[in-house]
Amino acid sequence: MENLLKLCLFILCFETTLTLQCVLCPSYKNGECVNGNQTCTAQPGETCMIRRIWNSIEYDKLKSAELRCTEFCEFDEKSSGGETIHTYCCSYDDFCNSIDLPIVMT
């Protein structure tokens, strides 16, 4: 019985270390998450994602952002209609999609 308990604890610890935590903020505007900062746990095959949107004229001023767990994510940067949209995907560390982390250009 003791060995079974040890095995269960090992499996629980192993599973816990493999989960990826991401920042969840569907709408980031005016320097803050509209509904408060939350977290999501990436499911198998998912990554953390952050999509930042700037006005192309004021590139140093963030217009809005979206942060979440997602299954489909591609690094991307495009400009259209006076806006620049930068999408970054990561899975190297918990909360790697934090708005406070520097932008990684692909």
pTM exceeds 0.85, yes or no: no
**Distance of CA 105 to CAs 7, 24, 44, 89, Å?**
43, 21, 25, 11
The tens digit of pLDDT for each residue in 59-102 reads 668 899 999 999 999 999 998 888 999 999 999 999 999 999 98
* Region 21-90: CATH code: 2.10.60
| DSSP-assigned letters across all residues of 13-34 | HHHHHH-EEEEEEEEEETTEET
